Structure 1
Amino acid sequence: MTTERRTEHIPSGPPRPKPLAPPAWLLAGLRPHHAPVPWAAAARAGIALATPLAVGFALDEPEYGALVSMGALSGVIGDTADAYRMRILNIAVPQLFGAVGVAIGTLVFGQGWLAVGVLTLIALVSGMISSIGTVASVSGLLLLLNAVVGAGLPMPRPWWTAPLLLTAGGLFVLVLTLLGWPLRGRGPERTAVAGAYRALADSLEAAAGPQSAYEECRQRVTQALNQAYDLVLARRALVHGRSAPLVRMLAQLNALIPLVEAAPAVHLRGRPLDPAVPAAVRDLAWAVEDGRTGTPHLALPTPEGPSGRALDSALRHAAVTVHLADPDPNNIDDRLGRPAALGVRARRAVRDMVFSAASWRYGLRLALCIGLAQSLVSLIPVERSYWVALTVTFVLKPDFGSVFSRAVLRALGTAAGLVLAAAVLAEVPRGWWDVPVMVLLAALIPVFSAKGYAFQTAAITPVILLLSDLLNHQGFDLILPRLLDSLIGCAIALVAGYLLWPESWHARIGDRLADTVDDAARYVDRAFAPVPDEAALREARQIRLQARRRIYRDLSGVRSEFQRALTEPPPTGARAAAWWPLVVALERIVDATTAARVRVNHGAAAPDAAEVAALSAELHGLAEGLRSSRTLKEVRVPPLAPGAEESVLAPLHHEVAAARAIAQPER
């Protein structure tokens, strides 16, 4: 048996035909993403930021209205989740950290070097918090941003006024967001589960096509499953037992897993699939979305071979589960993605933050740059100096993308936003005219944010300038200081946070990839581990499913990290481009392992334990070679163990051999 190898497209950009042509990473950042216009989010942003201004003008307190709008701006930027339960966390929790930040900043306003030391310490804490997760990342961001604003702008007295007004703005966004909850209910969760079924249908259709098309579809399946599990299991299992709709959605999602496992086996078979099969999966997606129940009607072809039987069995099981009105909560296994109790997760998060080297590295990196920024503006008079530290904070967000490209894109986005801001500040009289202008400018933020970072910066810049003008009354004179401070902040982030930071030139992508290769080796061991009885078989299957879900999720993270590294200039970007084919090869190894396990479950002969051990040893050897090398050419792997072509693991042997060929090219 042979496995056809196809050249994987390396998304690092084509060779530049002209010496003066912009680099690929810059063009990628300036190229707008294709995304639908979020009309609801645009309308919500316009109302959330303009209403406080109107109230402030009506009460003859425009400064108070501007502070409430600033809080609303933070809520608009943080409103990125789909499910309402998640949106509460995404908006409310960061607002609390933002209130603490502006309170501390207000207390050290005008305190000179004390303010420098306090903001540097807050930067360290903010950076470490940001390493925990998505909500924590936004919370850490607002903690530092609002502290910088409070320390750089004179705030209303007493000290608690600014935190109260900023928090009110964020809560106003939350109220506007939750207005749709009674109408949509669990719509986002149902849509996510149905989307996972549709992504799988696309994957099955592409199973017999080109390798690259199938792999792209499989990546979408992984992303859809991750999103669906994150939404459905956003709360504790105790809630599932009391909520019949949530129990049903979880059962429908779990029923998709056997289908996902069967897809690689169908792909390796290499024969076109009967169109009735993906059509049946799409019909199940509609049933999930519409809430249909009753007896399913399937017209499926007669299955052929182990992979065909696996797919047929999984599809029939999914059809019964999807149309079941009231699944028993006691029979629903949510260990594939259930979060631990809130207290347990909090303790784990704090432990990981305190003892994580990556957490300390990012915290110290951010603290260094913020300390330099605040020291600079303390020694050299810089008008509206808090913008320097704000720029550093936005640029030094590694979970948002490449530091280098973000610094350049932010400078370009700020320049574009200043053009619009100049027109507004020069032509629009201050007062009630600011309200309709704010409606339009704020509505652009969600629209442009979906297009890319440079576009988001261009949309946010005029909004911040308009609100700053209401607090400082400088009008058009804000334009040049804003540009100068942004450029200074970008320069500090580039020099201290990138060029002089050792990790920038010794990217840890090899270590991350090596860890995932080790996980793949352990997955091979678990997939074919012998079991003594039926009970042990069920437990082993559950462990294997958890391992498969974990490794696919980790592979998705590795792919994202490599794609981020590809936007860096040489040598980091060039190194990531050279190692990228190994990421693709590793995904194929996991697919081949899953396919072999599915075939064994449906009649194929199980592999010999020695063969499994040899393959696992090869993968561990490859991981060690990756971990001990800094470049691809330095990787050394042990000799390839022989594998019988008749074995069910023959495709896995070929995928491992292909990975070895990538890691140890001929010289």
Structure 2
Amino acid sequence: MSRELPIGLTPPDWLVRNLRPQQAPVNRPAVARAALAMALPLLIGLALGQPAYGALASMGALSGVIGDTADAYRIRILNIAIPQAFGAVGITLGAAVYGHGWLAVTAVTAVALVSGMISTIGAVASVSGLLLLLNSVVGAGLPMPGDWWLAPVLMTGGGLLVLLLALLAWPLRSGVPERAAVAGTYRTVAGLLAASGSTAPGAYEDARHAVTQSLNQSYDLVLAHRARHHGRSPELTRLLAQLNAITPVVEAAPAAHLAGRPLPPEVPAAVRHLAQAVETGFTGPIGLGLPTPTEETGRAVDHALRHTAEVVAAPDVDPLGLVDRLGRPAALRVRAARAAHDVLLSAASWRYGLRLALCIGLAQVLVSIVTVPRSYWVALTITFVLKPDFGSVFSRALLRALGTVAGLVVAAAVLSQVPRGWWDVPVMLLLAPLIPALTPRGYGYQTAAITPVILLLSDILNRQGTALLLPRLVDSLIGCAIALVAGYLLWPESWHTRVGDRLADAVADTARYAESAFGSHVDPPARARMRRRLYRDLSVIRTEFQRALTEPPPTGTRAAAWWPLVVAVERIVDATTAARVRVKHGAEPPSEAEITHVARQLRELSEGLRDTDVLYPVRTDLTGPPDSVLEPLRQEVAAARTIASPHQP
């Protein structure tokens, strides 16, 4: 018989959310690469009688393993190689100021400022900034063996070994990850069509969110570095055309859902059939077996699917006639200039850089005044924890502490029972694969996997054995405390949810989309890009909402209160898209007055969400014909305004 916990012993929801492991499949090739890339340098170092050199190369391989997350081979080159270059600069700078007291404090703090600022550019820049600072801290806190150039060469070589192992299958699997991603998007669209008209609570909304995420990932994968490849690779051009072709089907799904009737099962089955053709690269006639549509929304879905089938079956695509749904890419020179502008003149860039520099500076001052064994671990902990683009700072500090404790248990067994020397190689073969296997589960699990590996490599460098355990725990806790106080609590923006402001921006963009959706002054590609950005922004809002729920009260409680409005705004965008599809397939277009009225309601809702002290009450004077194509949209706007109304509890 099960027993319930007393109310006082029930863990809070935010803690449960932090500790719950995320579901993710094990990436077996990444597991194998981690084992080989981290154990091989140790083996070579021992064979040459230089185990410290092997340990440094394994440390470099560890950073490569952490960055080995991309599927496409083209992206892996940048995801691993560019951060390794920054890491080499970092270890060189750190080693140059090792043992120089306050000069080292100043230098590492300055590196932290630069690292934080460049981390705001994008994902690759964020990892590059992370490695720049991490290796600077290691170089400034740990004596490097050999000449000044040896440590950066060894660590960079270890990271590039991971890249080399990742690229071995490129000649055999070129284009396979991209095709699999696009086919996966088609399958999520099939799930969306199967959920259209469903009365199950949240079924359609969850399916639509899955489609948005999959589209974002596929576009990012196919269009990555497209300024170089666009128009040159027939394979990428064809995949981009296939992604564009599924978009009308996605646009027709809201109209089918609002019709309130499930689509025939042959419709999602046809999309799965197309997904198989995309994944295998099949070209030629594709039989869909679609039933004859009998109503307006059915015709919209049927027309979109037949167009998609034509694109999937086409053997060649004209790159000059291909419309990029996210806009034509700017030249590399232009994008570099924009990135430099964002780093130097962006308030967010300076704000994050100063937060990181403040915390690192405090840590360096502390360990310079107070004797702390292995003091560089304090700054390393701060560097990992204080990465807002990686998740909530509070959550990462909590999970870092818990993961460190769990990892120390494993490390204690390894350092106390396993003799140093050749036994390090089989131990690394067992520990290294845990890093890519546990990283997708969550940050705490990743920390638990990395901790024994780091301690094993540290012991090879300084031979302190189990004496490393307590300093590692103390330093990690000190680093977490500094990050929480100086990098979190002292910055109100970090513990105030941004869901409201982002929702307000999305509603304002929806107003502009509504005005363009039914007018002739906006060309279809621009309208499609506007719609894609809207759904991408809504996906970001959902991510921000889920992140805020892991914060303790009052942040998590405030975020939970926004959830009904998050769903309401998503339904507004769906209703706008559905109305556009219905007009395109024969419905009576709305008048200019109707469009103006709806856009006015949306802008008032946006202003109310932005300033929660002046929420606007529900208005009843902005109505239209009950049989208008915009009536479902007006109902969704009214529902959202009712939720946001101060007259509600």
The within-5 A match list for 1:516-665 is 516-531=506-521, 540-629=523-612, 635-636=615-616, 639-640=619-620, 641-664=622-645, 665=647
Please give the alpha-carbon distance, in whole angstroms, between the structure 2 residues aligned to 1:113 and 1:507: 38
* Mapping of residues 172-321 of structure 1, within 5 Å: 172-209=161-198, 210-236=200-226, 239-321=229-311
Matched, 1:164 2:153: yes
Question: How far does residue 64 in structure 1 lie from its aligned partner after superposition?
Answer: 0.7
**Matched residues in 2 for 1:371 and 1:448: separation?**
32
Q: Do structure 1's residue 90 and structure 2's residue 94 form an aligned pair?
A: no
Return 91-100 or 156-165, whichever deviates more: 156-165
Deviation, 1:240, is 3.4
Query: 1:559 Cα deviation (Å)?
Result: 1.0
- Say which is worse superposed, 643-652 or 454-463, in terms of deviation: 643-652
CA contact (8 A) 2:378 2:476 kept: yes
SS at match of 2:35: helix
Counterpart check, 1:514 vs 2:514: no
- CA drift of 1:343 comes to 1.7
1:511-535 superposed Cα distances (whole Å, 9 cap, x missing partner): 222112211111111112244xxxx
Unaligned stretches of 5+ residues in structure 2: none
| Secondary structure class of the residue paired with 2:373 | coil
Distance, in Å, in 2 between the alignment partners of 1:608 and 1:650 is 12
Deviation at 1:221, TM superposition (A): 0.6
Range that drifts further, 221-230 or 24-33? 24-33
1:141-160 correspondence runs (5 A): 141-160=130-149
In 1, the alpha carbon distance for the partners of 2:327 and 2:155 equals 35
Work out whether residues 514 and 595 of structure 2, in 8 Å CA contact, stay in contact via their aligned partners in 1: yes
Any idea what SS the aligned residue of 1:80 has? coil
2:227·2:332 contact (CA, 8 Å) conserved in 1? no
Structure 2: distance between partners of 1:622 and 1:439: 57
Distance 2:232 2:259 in 1: 43
Query: What displacement does 1:637 show?
Result: 5.1
Alignment of 1:3-402 (within 5 A): 18-209=7-198, 210-236=200-226, 239-336=229-326, 338-402=328-392
Question: Percent of pairs identical after alignment?
Answer: 67
CA contact (8 A) 2:323 2:525 kept: no
TM-score by length of 2: 0.97
Could you say if the C-alpha distance between residues 283 and 108 of structure 1 is closer, same or farther in structure 2, counting changes exceeding 3 Å? same
Which stretch of structure 1 is more off in the superposition, 590-599 or 287-296?
Answer: 287-296
Contact 1:504 1:572 (C-alpha < 8 Å) held by counterparts: no
For residues 234-272 of structure 1, the C-alpha deviation after alignment (integer angstroms, 9 at most, x for no partner) is 233563323222221111111111111101100100112
Deviation at residue 335 of structure 1 after TM alignment: 4.5
**CA positional deviation for 1:555:** 1.0
For the residues of structure 1 that align with 2:184 and 2:499, how far apart are their CA atoms? 31
Q: Tell me how far apart the structure 2 counterparts of residues 522 and 17 of structure 1 sit (CA, whole Å).
A: 52
Deviations 1:68-106 (A, max 9, x none): 000000000011111000111100010111111111111
Q: Structure 1 length normalisation: TM-score?
A: 0.94
Shifted more, 447-456 versus 244-253: the winner is 244-253
What residue identity is the alignment partner of 2:644?
A
Matched residues in 1 for 2:574 and 2:308: separation?
A: 21
Q: Equivalent residue for 1:8?
A: none
**CA displacement 1:337-366 (0-9 Å, x = unmatched):** 553222221111121222222222211111
Which has the larger displacement, 295-304 or 483-492? Answer: 295-304
TM superposition shift of 1:205: 0.3
For residues 334 and 516 of structure 2, the distance between their equivalents in structure 1, rounded to whole angstroms, comes to 27
Q: CA RMSD in A?
A: 1.6
Deviations 1:460-509 (A, max 9, x none): 00000000111111011000000000010011111111222222343333
CA distance in 2, matches of 1:528, 1:34: 42
Distance 1:506 1:244, change over 3 A: closer
1:304-328 residue CA offsets vs partner (Å, 9 max, x unmatched): 2221111111111111110111122
Counterpart mapping for 1:447-462 below 5 A: 447-462=437-452
Question: Does the CA contact (< 8 Å) of 1:306 and 1:600 recur in 2?
Answer: no
Output one character per residue of 1:575-612: Cα deviation in whole Å (capped at 9) or x when no partner.
Answer: 11111221111111111100000000000000111111
C-alpha contact 1:405 1:568 (8 A) present in aligned 2: yes
Compute the displacement of 1:153 (Å).
Answer: 0.2
Work out whether residues 236 and 338 of structure 1, in 8 Å CA contact, stay in contact via their aligned partners in 2.
no
Provide the residue aligned with 1:536 in structure 2.
none
2:485 maps to what in 1?
Answer: 495
Q: Greater CA deviation, 503-512 or 216-225?
A: 503-512
Cα distance between partner residues in 2 of 1:349 and 1:393:
22
Asked if 2 retains the 8 angstrom alpha-carbon contact of 1:109 and 1:152, the reply is yes
Extract unaligned runs of 5+ from structure 1.
1-14, 532-538
One-letter code aligned to 2:536: R
Q: What is the CA–CA distance in structure 2 between the aligned matches of 1:300 and 1:145, rounded to whole Å?
A: 57
| Contact 1:230 1:337 (C-alpha < 8 Å) held by counterparts | no
Q: Name which of structure 1's ranges 503-512 and 553-562 shifts more when overlaid on structure 2.
A: 503-512
- Counterpart CA distance in 2 for 1:383 and 1:133 is 35
- CA distance in 2 between counterparts of 1:110 and 1:22 reads 46
Q: Could you tell me which amino acid in structure 2 is paired with residue 468 of structure 1?
A: S
Cα displacement string for residues 607-641 of structure 1 (whole angstroms, at most 9, x for unaligned residues): 11111111111111111122223xxx753357342
Deviation at 1:17, TM superposition (A): 6.1
Q: Distance in 2 between matches of 1:507 and 1:297?
A: 49
| Contact kept in structure 2, 1:622 and 1:637, CA below 8 Å | no
- Residue 8 of structure 2 aligns to a residue whose secondary structure is coil
Alpha-carbon separation, structure 2, partners of 1:89 and 1:16: 50
Check conservation: 2:94, 2:136, Cα contact below 8 A: yes
SS in 2 for 1:82: coil
Q: Distance in 2 between matches of 1:31 and 1:565?
A: 15
For residue 224 of structure 2, give the secondary structure of its aligned residue in structure 1.
Answer: coil
Structure-2 separation of matches of 1:58 and 1:257: 57
Q: Match of 1:187, as an amino acid?
A: V
Q: What secondary structure sits across from 1:450 in the alignment?
A: helix
1:438: how far off?
Answer: 0.4
Distance 1:590 1:122, change over 3 A: same
CA contact (8 A) 2:411 2:455 kept: yes
